[in-house]
Structure 1
């Protein structure tokens, strides 16, 4: 998914469910053809978010549940007649196309992972209802006639959950021939009328009549790629309202920065539900259990596991993103008299300071939350029980000299800039390489096993057509008579969901490789927080 979460957008999750029939071997009779009626075939896409921490206990929420009936109105007969003596199954592929809401948070793991990883997950579930077709009694063997009263006429088969990874990428940045792809800068005007008090100040504060005439503008990128290692930071200052005497006495000696990530764990998702359309309360656990809940949910439901500090509804864990060896102090050369009238830069002109702020991908685990494990850099975002915020704290040191040239007053202008870390979609990668290996007892009739060996590249998916090119906004399929769209045909080498029926025993094989189609490009969202705008 591209851009910020948007309730007006949707995406297409397409694929097929494979139904396979195989006649089971028996010691008492030869293999017989299997004849079944497919009465129902439902595919369900479910999203869930779970949190497990010692302080907040266990919390769970259903993000969405999208189902589609794939079987037609009338029952469909499946039979492997003529192929009952072979071990190769007869297979039917049933295609599906599910509309997925565009506001869903990305897949993520957070919380206490010592038992099993909780977090935000998505999965596909297939359920089929099949009925036996009664054969001619004269053609049945004595064993089938004897055991027929014990056979279940109709069976419901549930597929093993197929995990779906949902990635959210920011809109791609603009490309510059010289500097490469980069996001535009957001400018923030810093207020100097009410600076933060400094308890450790060794000299009196600078008078407000002088400090209020100082203009400060800070600039950082609108979005920052989490895979980068640094981002540019620009600080502009000017003092157009100061007299020449005050301009010569006001100095800026340097500034410091601190880059911080705050992970907030919440036991309730009320705030998130007020912004996004989560399912109603009666469709949430425990009223309606999740299809694939965390193993610890049973212990909390029956009261065997109780959090020692369940009174805590929210827990915050803050970590510094700066490298441990980095000293985030940037002093100015000389005395820092940037507004001195004797210099070429006048007080009514902008004095610009630029630097690169480095950051790391892994941080040490916080002592107050050892259950959270090793902290890592995450994209900024929100989910029902977990939120990630980033901020850069800046302190600009200003000095005001007395008439004798000695320091008469100091002031630290402190302000905080909101930082938005995003994940940028990488360039497409080549499809995975498949290696086929034959069994040692392979014959001309035996099929070779396929081993998929993907070269794992994070978030690498082949390019797919946009949803808007295939469907209208109301979900109807676009039909172009001049150039008709090709019908969906699965690759013969691709693995898929498979529903296996062997006479009276049913099971489901593992699903994989379902693609997520992009629908519409979403508009860019400006960073919010302090007042920002163009700088003359």
Structure 2
């Protein structure tokens, strides 16, 4: 029996966590080791012999892929990235001598540290029924070696020198799925304040608005154009939250007092929508725009020039022509789902006196009519009918952008207004419809409090996704999680990198290096401040 050589990939963490918005200037570290195991073959007639191999190469590849499957679009795939590193610079001999009789094989760990681009979308699985879009990542290790025949050449001889060259090169590989998660911000042990609100100044359309079905008279456009609407939504919303805060303020501007008394707001409809878009490769301008913005893999690395490492089972069936081609020339599919619970219609009917602008007749007043509410969110959106085409993932997903698959969220607002015509007394009506963009994001789990017992703090196993935070948060991390990665200290040959910035000159305690007798130490700090500005959104109107 031949010797047993096995390989396994052991990453440091169960997932690769990215922080912030996708950015080509950011990179994150994926570290771990490639484990090589050697076991001697079992024999009934003689003692187990030690195994010697000449390790030629350990090649590790991080591969990302995106796929789309729908009845209307068929199957389409794209390689997002392919990062390959050679972990062994020169051949080396490995042997399990002294461990050949052990039940456990001899193991060697080859350490790796790969820089992963910060623009990659998070891992996404297909919707029920294997429809929709997905993004997956995996590590692929290929170990090449030569088995040295040490059974016949126990003593040194000239033939033992050429033994490795007479042996056939062998290879063994392994795969490991890597889950990529993206969080809106790094973890912290401090209380997280609510997300700031973004203000949108909404404007009514200047063209005539069609009346609602229960009225045959439209509201005059010059009346609607005098209505000012200021809506506020969170800068981001955690996908685990059950409510989304929403604020709206209304008033009129430069509208005569008599007109203000004839204008009223009867109801308001609020809905939160999740929109998923799937598209084919190189057939939609959105995909081309993504390629220009983010450096996807080169054309020679794309299928069918190079097959995906972990394609969907349907990929081969489409390539062999066993699945019918799409009957239409559709380039994209859009699935829209409401995130409101089934029992919530989203309609808010105003009761009492609905002439909310009556005080605007006083030119010195100009008060806002304010309404604040919490919009509920359902995390399970139901299921599609059997046999139907893709209708969405049926769960709340983070907002994301990719070359083949996008997820976006929006708050749709409809304001119903009525106006009493001065001549006839007839009631005219109109519905003003606005769409406000929302960002649904994943928030990291909190870190344990700093005031815990230090030993217990260091021993605690934090939830997945808590590491690694940026260097500014290293002080709150236990143990060595705040230390720099290996590649920052050593080069590819294992030599320590030389820091161009020299260490400060020695000075006794209580004095500065430049002025030993001066006990004043000046520390420079860099602060950043970002201000949110109100945004203007053009409005559309509907019946």
For normalisation by structure 2, the TM-score amounts to 0.75
State how far apart, in whole Å, the 2-side matches of 1:239 and 1:215 are.
6
Structure 1, 473-482 or 259-268: larger mean CA deviation: 473-482
**How far apart in 1 are the matches of 2:252 and 2:358?**
11
1:66 to 2:83 alignment: yes
Alpha-carbon distance, 1:30 to partner: 2.1
Q: 1:305 to 1:60 in 2, by over 3 A?
A: same
In 1, distance between residues paired with 2:172 and 2:470? 34
Instruction: Describe how 1:115-194 pairs up with structure 2 within 5 A.
Output: 119-135=134-150, 137=152, 139=154, 153-159=168-174, 161-171=175-185, 181-192=193-204, 193-194=206-207
Classify the secondary structure of the residue corresponding to 1:167: strand
Q: 1:416 aligns with which of 432, 435, 457?
A: 435
SS in 2 for 1:299: helix
Tell whether the 8 Å contact from 1:129 to 1:156 is kept in structure 2 after alignment: yes
Task: Provide the C-alpha distance between the structure 1 equivalents of 2:201 and 2:316, rounded to a whole number of angstroms.
Answer: 52
Following superposition, the deviation at residue 29 of structure 1 comes to 3.1
Task: Assess, with a 3 A threshold, how the Cα gap between structure 1 residues 325 and 118 changes in structure 2: closer, same or farther.
Answer: closer
Q: Distance in 2 between matches of 1:168 and 1:524?
A: 22
Is the 2:61–2:85 contact (alpha carbons within 8 Å) kept by the matching residues of 1? yes
Residue correspondence of structure 1 range 164-243 to structure 2 within 5 A? 164-171=178-185, 181-192=193-204, 193-194=206-207, 196-198=209-211, 200=213, 202-243=215-256
Does 2:413 correspond to 1:394? Answer: yes
Structure 1 residues 156 and 118, CA gap change in structure 2 (3 angstroms)? farther
The CA distance in 2 between the partners of 1:254 and 1:320, in whole Å, is 20
With over 3 angstroms needed to count, the CA separation of the structure-2 counterparts of 1:174 and 1:130, relative to structure 1, is closer
Change in CA separation of 1:172 and 1:332 when aligned onto 2, cut-off 3 Å: farther
**In the alignment, what sits opposite 1:307?**
325
Q: How far apart are 1:363 and its partner, in Å?
A: 1.1
| Shift, 1:336, TM fit | 1.1
Give the SS at the match of 1:376: coil
Summarize deviations over 1:211-247 as a string: whole Å, max 9, x none.
2222111111111111111111111111131122222
Alpha-carbon contact 1:429-1:460 (below 8 Å) kept? no
The alpha-carbon deviation at position 460 of structure 1 amounts to 2.7
Cα contact 2:188–2:447 (8 A) shared by 1: no
Determine whether 1:80 maps to 2:96: yes
Distance in 1 (alpha carbons) for counterparts of 2:329 and 2:264: 50
1:293 aligns with 2:327: no
Equivalence map 1:240-255=2 (5 Å): 240-255=253-268
3-state SS of the aligned residue for 2:88? coil
Residue 83 (structure 1) shift = 1.9
Higher mean Cα deviation, 380-389 or 471-480?
471-480
| Cα offsets for 1:101-132 (capped at 9, x unmatched) | 00000000125645x99721111111111112
Secondary structure, counterpart of 1:137 in structure 2: coil
What secondary structure does 1:166 align onto? strand
Instruction: Find the counterpart in structure 1 of residue 355 from structure 2.
Output: 337
Structure 1 residues 228 and 462, CA, compared in 2 at 3 Å: closer, same or farther?
closer
Deviations 1:392-442 (A, max 9, x none): 221112222245995532222211111211111122489xxxxxxxxxxxx
The equivalent position to 2:344 in structure 1, one of 326, 339, 343, is 326
Q: 2:467 aligns with which of 463, 468, 471?
A: 463
In structure 2, the CA distance between the partners of 1:326 and 1:53, relative to structure 1 (3 Å rule), is: same
CA separation of 1:98 and 1:210: change in aligned 2, threshold 3 A: same
2:541 is aligned to none
Equivalent pair of 1:22/1:90 in contact (CA under 8 Å):
yes
Distance 1:317 1:470, change over 3 A: same
Q: Contact 2:40–2:51 at 8 Å: present in 1 too?
A: yes
Deviations 1:344-365 (A, max 9, x none): 9975222211111111111123
Match of residue 496 from structure 1: none
Between the aligned partners of 1:228 and 1:107, the Cα distance in structure 2 is 21
Offset, 1:210: 2.4
Question: What pairs up with 1:272-283 in 2 under 5 angstroms?
Answer: 272-283=290-301
User: Structure 1 residue 138: deviation in Å?
Assistant: 5.5
Shift of 1:174: 11
Taking the aligned partners of 1:343 and 1:201, their CA distance within structure 2 comes to: 28
- Is 2:56 aligned against 1:44? no
Number of equivalences: 457
After TM superposition, the score normalised by the length of structure 1 is: 0.76
Q: Matches of 1:121 and 1:421 in 2, distance apart? A: 20
SS class of match (1:375): coil
CA contact (8 A) 1:25 1:31 kept: yes
Which of 20, 29, 54 is matched with 2:71 structurally? 54
Q: Give the gaps of 5 or more residues in structure 1.
A: 141-147, 431-454, 483-521
How far off is 1:12 after superposition? 0.4
Please state how far the C-alpha of 1:155 moved relative to its aligned partner. Answer: 0.5
RMSD: 3.8
What residue ranges of structure 2 are gaps of 5+ in the alignment?
1-17, 156-162, 450-460, 473-482, 504-527, 539-543
Question: Counterpart in 1 of 2:269?
Answer: 256
Deviations, residues 278-332 of structure 1 (Å, cap 9, x unaligned): 1111110111111222222222112222234353221111111111111311122
Q: 2 CA distance for matches of 1:173 and 1:240?
A: 45
Higher relative contact order (CA 8 A, sep 6+): 1
Match for residue 98 of structure 1?
A: 114
Q: Do residues 384 (structure 1) and 403 (structure 2) align?
A: yes
Name the SS of the counterpart of 1:227 in structure 2.
coil
User: 1:172, CA displacement in angstroms?
Assistant: 6.3
